[in-house]
Amino acid sequence: MLEQERRLRLLEQLDRLSELVAGVRHTARDEADPADQGRIGSNRTAAPFFWNARKQLELGIGIFEALGGPELPSCRDLATGSAMQFLSQVVGGATSAFEELNRTVQAIGRDAA
């Protein structure tokens, strides 16, 4: 029963991570300047919300790993990797992160069977 509870907690945290990845992408879109090739935090803002969204994702990854989950390199790169100055970088990173989360959910589900 303990292992089943652990898997459930991991799956719940993966769900939370998907929300956080979506939040990073959404915030980047809101803060991107279409007049400046989609640069995030161009002249009009220092992109504080984008930075906060990435830090929240980093925290969520830490919780997932503390629960015994595997490393999530694509998610971590979205959270702490390059500066991601352009919306296109964030969209690509978020897509990779979503794919990684999906593979991880499937792996945890297979382990339960």
Cβ within 8 Å of residue 85, ≥6 positions away = 39, 40, 41
Question: What predicted TM-score, i.e. pTM, was given to this entire model?
Answer: 0.91
pLDDT at res. 82: 85
Name the E strands within the chain: 32-33, 39-40
Domain limits for position 49: 2-112
Q: What is the pLDDT of residues 58-108, one digit of tens each?
A: 999 999 999 999 999 999 999 999 888 899 999 999 999 999 999 999 999
CB 101 within 8 A of CB 14: yes
pLDDT at res. 35: 87
Q: What's the CA gap between 36 and 38, in Å, rounded?
A: 5
CATH number at 36 reads 1.20.120
Number of domains present in the structure of the chain: 1
Q: What's the CA gap between 5 and 101, in Å, rounded?
A: 19
